[in-house]
Amino acid sequence: MGFLDSLLGKTKLPEAKTDKLFAISTAAVTLEASLGYRPDGAAAVCIKPMESSRYEAARREIEELLGMSIKETGTEYKLQKDEYNYLWVVLSDPDLDDLVNAVQMVSQILTEQGLGIQILAAVYRFRGEAVIYWIYNFKQGAYYPFVPQSGRQRDTAREFRLKALLQKEMPLEKDESRWYPMWGMPL
């Protein structure tokens, strides 16, 4: 947001950047080869619901298309509101590429309806010596690691190790103050 925008009190939210979304597929190879983390068959997209019939239409279209793609790829899905009233499209499929495609489809439908700014994040779960999550920030078009522990603690050491290993493989959020945790994710 430029200086003139803030001078005039214009609130501009960044559009969803989906171009780097697919980087998770190549990163997954390195992740398994060097640290033994495997895709855990689960991903999700977090959406900020909106008071608009256009949003409702987009939500129905997402459900329709996901319903159709079940038959092709076997990707299962459910829609779920969390405790803060955000909508989660929770996807499960053993194949990571199918998950990435489904996430891409959801974000594309919302963007086409002009609701790109409502997409908060996409999350992929991996499992190895611990359960780790890769969160894709649509505003920045970058990934960051999230390793939650019990009692709203996060394993920061492990997150930094993941960063060190993968920063050449995928676009990572460089500003660690934007590694926002997401507690109570439905996956």
Partner 1 sequence: MNRWKSDRGLEARMMLTMFLLAAVYLAFLAVLLSMGVNQIWVILFMGGFMFLQYFFSDKMILSSMGAKLVSESEEPRLHDLVRRLCQNADLPMPRIAVVRTSMPNAFATGRNQKNAVVAVTTGLLNRLNESEVEAVLAHELTHVKNRDMMVMTIATFLSSLAQMMVQWLPFMGMGGSDRDRDSGSSAALLLVVSLVVWIVSFILIRTLSRYREFAADRGAAIITGQPSNLISALTKISGFRVPTEDLRRVEGPVSALFITPALSGSALGNLFSTHPTLEARIDALQRIEMELEA
Per-residue binder mask for partner 1 (CB under 8 A), 44-63, x = binder: ----xxxxxxxx--------
Nearest distance in Å: CB 9, partner 1:
3
Residue 74, phi-psi category: left (phi > 0), alpha (psi -120 to 50), beta (remainder) = left
Per-residue binder mask for partner 1 (CB under 8 A), 26-45, x = binder: --------------------
Stretch that binds partner 1, among 22-30, 33-41, 92-100, 108-116 (CB under 8 A): 108-116
Nearest distance in Å: CB 130, partner 1:
22
Rule CB under 8 A: choose which of 99, 136, 137, 148 binds partner 1.
137
Return the DSSP state at 170. Answer: S
Task: Tell me the C-alpha to C-alpha distance, in Å, between residue 117 and each of 18, 37, 50, 107, 138.
Answer: 12, 31, 11, 10, 9
Contacts of 53 (CB under 8 A, 6+ apart): none
Query: How far is Cα 84 from Cα 76, in angstroms, rounded to an integer?
Result: 24
What DSSP element (H or E) covers 46? strand 38-47
Total residues interacting with partner 1, rule: CB under 8 A: 42
Rule CB under 8 A: choose which of 19, 68, 150, 177 binds partner 1.
177
Nearest distance in Å: CB 27, partner 1:
22
Nearest distance in Å: CB 174, partner 1:
13
| Residue 186 within binding range of partner 1, rule CB under 8 A | no
| Residue 118 within binding range of partner 1, rule CB under 8 A | yes
Give the strand pairing for 87-92 and 76-81.
antiparallel
> Which two structure tokens, joined as six digits, stand for 58?
């987009």
- Bridge partners of 39, per DSSP, are 126
Interface positions with partner 1 (CB under 8 A): 1, 6-15, 48-55, 84-86, 111-118, 120-121, 137, 139-140, 152, 177-178, 180-183
